[in-house]
Structure 1
Amino acid sequence: MTATQTLPSLDGRTFKMLSSTTSAVNPEAPSTFRYFERDGVIWGDYTGDTVTFGRCVGTRAGDVINVSFVHVLVATGEVVTGTGVSEIEQDDDGMLRLVERYEMHGAPQLSICAEVPAA
């Protein structure tokens, strides 16, 4: 892929969390994210692992998305809010991956999410 090409829309795509510096990811039931996109606006929802449910909304410029998020933790019921920046990458097989950088618990965090193939 050349630097001038833009990766495909996130609209209707589902991703699963592979790794996170915030917490250990349960490989049997990772957090799952559904994204929607229209005219440079991104929104979605997520659930699973340590999250009861969550929502995000933001914008996309090229292959970078900026989002604000809010979710409820399973263990405590605590509401967590924040912002993050994700770089969209495409694997050799054409599937997308999100490299997410955000702050939580007063420290920078990193998570990786991979697209789930459509059923």
Structure 2
Amino acid sequence: MPRSLDGRVLAPVADQAPGRVDTRTRFAYHEREGRIWAEYAGGDVVQGRPVGTREGNRLDFRYVQLRRDGTTASGHCVATVVDLPDGRVRLEETWQWESQPGSGTSVVEELVEEPAQQSAPHAPD
């Protein structure tokens, strides 16, 4: 079975249309006993929540989001969890809005945590 999503932060690899997630959106995932959920925000999305199930490498979830323009939207997504060679995970998603017309595919990948930059020593004045 692919790695757990719990505690992983993912981001889209490409922008979508306005009012949807984009490369500035961050998804913080949680996973327990076959259940998955997350919080997401960034770009045109103020706050979003997916919730659903995981069976093997398949996710099935519903999502709802609040956009910057004050509108809300919801939909359904089925995703495949892929283990990448470098240890990160990728979600290959097929989604469909339920609150409005539209459907599509997207890919989100785990972000690599960059080491904290060390500050240069400050020379006395």
Quote how far apart the aligned CAs of 1:20 are. Answer: 4.9
What is the alpha-carbon root mean square deviation over aligned residues? 1.8
Percent of aligned pairs sharing the same letter: 31
- Compute the TM-score of the two structures, normalised by the length of structure 2: 0.80
Change (3 A) 1:63 1:15: same
Which of residues 43, 58, 67 in structure 2 aligns to 1:64? 58
- Compute the TM-score of the two structures, normalised by the length of structure 1: 0.84
Unpaired segments ≥5 residues, structure 1: 1-5
Find the counterpart in structure 1 of residue 121 from structure 2: none
Letter paired with 1:58: G
Unpaired segments ≥5 residues, structure 2: 115-125
Superposed CA deviations along residues 69-115 of structure 1, whole A, max 9, x for unmatched, are 110111x2111011101111111112100111111342321111110
Q: Higher strand proportion, which one?
A: 1
Equivalent pairs, count: 111
- The answer to whether 1:41 aligns with 2:57 is no
Find the counterpart in structure 1 of residue 101 from structure 2: 106
Letter paired with 1:77: G
Choose between structure 1 and 2 for higher RCO, CA contacts under 8 A separated by at least 6 residues: 1
Say which one has the larger Rg: 2
